[in-house]
Amino acid sequence: MKQFPGGGCPRFAALGSVSLVLLLTALTDPARAGSVILLRSGSLDAYNDAAQGFQRACAGPLVDLSCGERTAAEIARRVRETHPDAVVAIGLKAAVFARDHLPRVPIVYCAVQNPEEHDLAGAWITGVRTEVTPEDELQALRQAVPDAHRIGFFYGPVAGARLLASARAAAAASGLELVEAPVADLGELARTARDVCAHVDALWMPADPVLAAPEAFHFLLELSLRTRRPLFVFSDALVRAGAYAGLEPDYERAGERAALAVRRIRSGEHAGDIPVAREREARLVINQATAKAMGREVPRLPASVEVLP
């Protein structure tokens, strides 16, 4: 029998090529894909939007779990039983859980802000970060409150301090004056907020662990409504709860980006070799009822802006 260069047999070489094609097809064909664990931190609208975007873009079997509905042992056992291609962890709580309890399982986190602050890195981890820049937030604030010139910027000692330099630069570039309101803990918030509110046209509450507490939001919301100073926030849910306006990342698109990472893992790439993606699209939301309560008119805005009734 005629030998292939290197000693191979043509028929066996052809069979090997066919096997390779079948293997590659199995890795990339959604119909042949293994399961994916979709692990949510909870039932927030943002997490549900990210899950919806992921499910729309990723074919194959899916096991949907929530950290709030099962114990850590139950989730870990379900993952072991499933042998998933990847775990898509939506939200910080789910991402940290996956990192700590699911060794050597490819992890794709999603809807997580500032992942480097939570050690979300390693050979088995990639993801999609969703923080909105201060530049984008201030631009949206100017759209929503065009008559505001002095902005009260509340920030905590860790996350907010990191954003402060960017917020200062963005305010200077926009021709706005930033009135800084550092808040070390919730006990300082009332006094600081009352002092600042007397000297500003609008209040800016960024995504900060200190300010993200429900009691902080409710206090700033009440102060905003009483003094008629529009409150600008970081979440659609907070706008629906009464804040004047907010800029929220496009979590559905973030979920779609997570699906692209899973596709690459299924094709043979290691999760840690896939660069962390960043969802830069965000949606401005304005609460028209709050505007009316303040005696304000919602400005004319692009169709992409959502105005709640």
CATH number of 102's domain: 3.40.50.2300
Match 């940290």 to its residue by tokens: 96
Q: Which range among 119-128, 249-258, 300-309 shows the weakest confidence by mean pLDDT?
A: 300-309
- Beta carbons of 252 and 52 less than 8 angstroms apart: yes
Q: In whole angstroms, give the CA distance from residue 54 to residue 254.
A: 8
Provide the number of structural domains found in the chain. 2
Report the pLDDT value the prediction gives residue 7, as an integer from 0 to 100.
40
Q: Are residues 169 and 40 in the same domain?
A: no
Reported pTM:
0.78
Judged against a pLDDT cut of 70, whether residue 92 lies above it is answered with: yes
Tokens of 83: 């042998």
Phi and psi dihedrals of 210, rounded to 5? -70, -45
Instruction: Select from 267, 274, 264, 276 the least CA-distant residue to 127.
Output: 276
Q: In whole angstroms, give the CA distance from residue 300 to residue 285.
A: 13
Which of the four pLDDT bands, split at 50, 70 and 90, describes residue 28?
A: very low
Q: Are residues 200 and 272 in the same domain?
A: no
Q: Are residues 114 and 142 in the same domain?
A: no
Tokens of 10: 């043509």
Q: Which domain holds residue 268?
A: 33-130+250-280
Beta carbons within 8 Å of 7's beta carbon, 6+ residues apart: none
Going across the sheet that includes 107-112, the strands are 62-66, 36-40, 86-90, 107-112, 125-129, 277-278
Judged against a pLDDT cut of 80, whether residue 104 lies above it is answered with: yes
- Give CA separation, 124 vs 24, 86, 92, 274, in Å: 22, 10, 16, 10
Q: In whole angstroms, give the CA distance from residue 211 to residue 155.
A: 7
Q: In whole angstroms, give the CA distance from residue 112 to residue 93.
A: 9
Q: Are residues 183 and 41 in the same domain?
A: no
C-alpha 294 chain-centroid distance: 30
Report the pLDDT value the prediction gives residue 33, as an integer from 0 to 100.
59
Judged against a pLDDT cut of 50, whether residue 14 lies above it is answered with: no
Residue 208, domain member (yes or no): yes
Residue 13, domain member (yes or no): no
Q: Terminus-to-terminus CA distance in the chain, angstroms?
A: 80
Q: Are residues 89 and 172 in the same domain?
A: no
Q: Are residues 114 and 140 in the same domain?
A: no
Which of the four pLDDT bands, split at 50, 70 and 90, describes residue 209?
A: confident
Angle between helices 134-144 and 159-174 (to 10 degrees): 50
Q: In whole angstroms, give the CA distance from residue 301 to residue 123.
A: 45
DSSP-derived secondary structure letter, 122:
S
Q: In whole angstroms, give the CA distance from residue 241 to residue 284.
A: 15
Angle, CA of 8, 13 and 16, to the nearest 5° = 130
Q: What is the mean pLDDT of residues 37-60?
A: 93
Residue 38, domain member (yes or no): yes
Q: In whole angstroms, give the CA distance from residue 253 to residue 258.
A: 9
Helix (H) or strand (E) holding 6: none
Judged against a pLDDT cut of 60, whether residue 25 lies above it is answered with: no
Share of the chain above pLDDT 70, in %: 88
Q: What is the mean pLDDT of residues 204-233?
A: 92
Report the pLDDT value the prediction gives residue 34, as an integer from 0 to 100.
85
Report the residue count for the chain.
309
Residue 147, domain member (yes or no): yes
Q: In whole angstroms, give the CA distance from residue 148 to residue 228.
A: 12
- Beta carbons of 220 and 205 less than 8 angstroms apart: yes
